[in-house]
A and B are shown apart, each in its own frame.
Chain A
């Protein structure tokens, strides 16, 4: 039994070594901007609409080229997935912007095509993320701070004419009952890259990130799920560590 195990480990090591001998390993930095939308249903809430939010992302792409046309890429990153909710009509002025920070690890297969230097690529993969931070900024009707309407000579034009707004900008307190801070989803991207002779690769990529886990724990019957859908564009560069350091890394 022990002999079999040793043989298996030996074969695995030889296999990995032989792939590694012709593989390229690249490391870099990418910056991006995105639009996130909360995919949910609030059709029963009057004068209420969810809107997309703008965010940023920063990541460290790690690319392992196995074949000329196929690589594995992982990009540990920090990504914002923001959105807002606004009241309309008579309730105009009531809103909340949610700024959410995720620590995210996408693992993608990269299919590339084209010439030696200028190449196109498609990324397909999955990701896991941790909802690390959240902030809420907005204005709400303050039930116990009414506007004194006793001296009104005409009716109020909006709800803020009846009740003062409370403006806030504060850290969101996560609920251990409600909030699901682990998020998993799929990721697709398409982009082009340019690789220099010295092993420097620059790229621009459009990426869609969609969660398939609810932002909430399953804590109530007839719960309406909430999913993040994020469309982003990133620019980045990578350095071919093989060319820089040879195969000693």
Chain B
């Protein structure tokens, strides 16, 4: 009897194991349900809690009662909800982070974008976004040797959305091999872009002695497929390149993480060891794979990242089920786009939300562009010519 009472007494000291539901299991039929789903989905699946300064517990206590008063069928309340979502997520460090509200006309909230549009206040003379004509007209016309120029465009798709994908290659001053591509979408290359890419990779495979350097231009590149990193950088190395580490969630707790796994570029079949300088041009609109590529190339002994600090969205993305973390949806009301892993560099620095700084800083100006000059490409050419 005493034993029974002791066991009963001690067992009752345990906290109750609460039901944990997948965020996507909520119906999203009312704002109370939507808030619970969103908050818990973030609580369990957001991968950056170890570095994010947002007080998520405070978010719960502050916004739960506010959402409880909202009516999903009231348009004014929907606007209030959007303002609450904007405030709740304003400080999140994940720079991929985007909330999309399909039932509210596809309205989107991107905390990183909201932070980036203030860049002109920091560097007033910068161009916020390099015009596409920079890559399709200015550089081909003013820099690339006419006989070597190859360029083309195809339509590619990311998450169901069509995007114009442009590739440009050729030589500069007959001694620098140049490649620009607008997205990491090599596997989707079509009739117009495959020949351009083939030209670049065939030149790499048998690099003429006259080529003294290579420029990979990922400015304004929004990222894309991870395998392209292997295909691009892996064609220029003959030994695996470790350039950082990634980790993901392995439990429901905010700080439940896997160990850090090495981020590796694998040499491709037939790859050659490129020893001439490889410059990667990137800027503050180089996102995700474009940033990762800039860092990977900068890790090479002959690699150099020239440009401005990148966007700051370094965490790889995959569907929730792969890493038990990252993106999720709540009925047809809301989809949460967020990284499933976090990334750190070889020296342990996490650039999420901050961006990867260039090895050599070089910024564009409107005045230079308007006079037909690409200041960043000029810096790359000067760098290669000095080596």
What is A's interface to B at a CB cutoff of 8 Å?
39-48, 85, 91, 96, 122, 124, 126, 136, 140-146, 148-150, 159, 163-164, 166, 168, 170, 175, 177-178, 185-186, 188, 210, 212, 214, 216, 219-225, 227
B230 to chain A, nearest CB (A): 6
The residue that A150 contacts in the complex, of B43, B231, B263, with Cβ under 8 A, is: B231
The residue that B57 contacts in the complex, of A140, A143, A221, A225, with Cβ under 8 A, is: A221
Which of B1-9, B116-124, B131-139, B301-309 lies at the interface?
A: B1-9
Interface residues of B in 223-257 (CB under 8 A from A): 226-227, 229-231, 244, 246, 248, 250-256
Q: Is the CB of B11 within 8 A of A222?
A: no
Inter-chain CA distance A210–B262, complex, in Å, is: 37
What residues on A are CB-neighbors of B256 within 8 Å?
178
The residue that A188 contacts in the complex, of B7, B17, B19, B292, with Cβ under 8 A, is: B7
Inter-chain CA distance A39–B17, complex, in Å, is: 9
Q: Is the CB of B44 within 8 A of A141?
A: no
The residue that B10 contacts in the complex, of A42, A141, A186, A221, with Cβ under 8 A, is: A186
B15 within 8 A of A: yes
Q: Is the CB of A143 within 8 A of B18?
A: no
Using A44-B21, A143-B323, A178-B253 as known contacts, say yes or no to A150 and B259 having CB atoms under 8 A apart: no
Q: Is the CB of A223 within 8 A of B253?
A: yes
Closest to A167 in B: B261
The residue that A142 contacts in the complex, of B22, B25, B262, with Cβ under 8 A, is: B262
Q: Is the CB of B261 within 8 A of A168?
A: yes
What residues on A are CB-neighbors of B227 within 8 Å?
146, 148-150
Inter-chain CA distance A225–B318, complex, in Å, is: 28
Q: Is the CB of A41 within 8 A of B19?
A: yes
B221 within 8 A of A: no
The residue that A210 contacts in the complex, of B11, B17, B252, with Cβ under 8 A, is: B11
A75 to chain B, nearest CB (A): 18
Q: Is the CB of B244 within 8 A of A143?
A: no
B35 to chain A, nearest CB (A): 13
Inter-chain CA distance A185–B10, complex, in Å, is: 7
Using A48-B324, A168-B261, A224-B18 as known contacts, say yes or no to A143 and B3 having CB atoms under 8 A apart: no
Q: Is the CB of B262 within 8 A of A143?
A: no
Q: Is the CB of A146 within 8 A of B253?
A: no
Q: A143-B323, A220-B56 are in contact. List 16 more A-B contacts (CB 8 A).
A: A41-B18, A41-B19, A43-B21, A44-B25, A45-B251, A91-B321, A140-B250, A141-B323, A144-B343, A145-B263, A170-B259, A214-B15, A221-B56, A221-B60, A224-B17, A224-B20
Q: Is the CB of B252 within 8 A of A212?
A: no
B258 within 8 A of A: yes
Q: Is the CB of A224 within 8 A of B3?
A: no
B338 within 8 A of A: no
B299 to chain A, nearest CB (A): 13
The residue that A144 contacts in the complex, of B57, B244, B320, with Cβ under 8 A, is: B244
Q: Is the CB of A166 within 8 A of B262?
A: yes
Inter-chain CA distance A44–B249, complex, in Å, is: 13
B269 to chain A, nearest CB (A): 9
Inter-chain CA distance A18–B276, complex, in Å, is: 91
B14 within 8 A of A: yes
Q: Is the CB of A45 within 8 A of B11?
A: no
Q: Is the CB of B252 within 8 A of A42?
A: yes
Closest to A85 in B: B250
Closest to B256 in A: A178
Q: Is the CB of A145 within 8 A of B266?
A: yes
Q: Is the CB of B230 within 8 A of A140?
A: no
Inter-chain CA distance A122–B3, complex, in Å, is: 9
Inter-chain CA distance A83–B320, complex, in Å, is: 24
What residues on A are CB-neighbors of B320 within 8 Å?
46
Using A144-B264, A220-B253, A224-B253 as known contacts, say yes or no to A46 and B231 having CB atoms under 8 A apart: no
Closest to A186 in B: B10
B237 to chain A, nearest CB (A): 14
Complex interface bits, B326-352 against A, C-beta within 8 A gives 1, otherwise 0: 000000000000001101000000000
B40 within 8 A of A: yes
B187 within 8 A of A: yes
Using A41-B20, A220-B254 as known contacts, say yes or no to A145 and B10 having CB atoms under 8 A apart: no
Closest to A45 in B: B324
What residues on A are CB-neighbors of B13 within 8 Å?
212
Q: Is the CB of B261 within 8 A of A175?
A: no
What residues on A are CB-neighbors of B355 within 8 Å?
none
What residues on A are CB-neighbors of B253 within 8 Å?
178, 216, 220, 223-224
What residues on A are CB-neighbors of B11 within 8 Å?
186, 210, 212
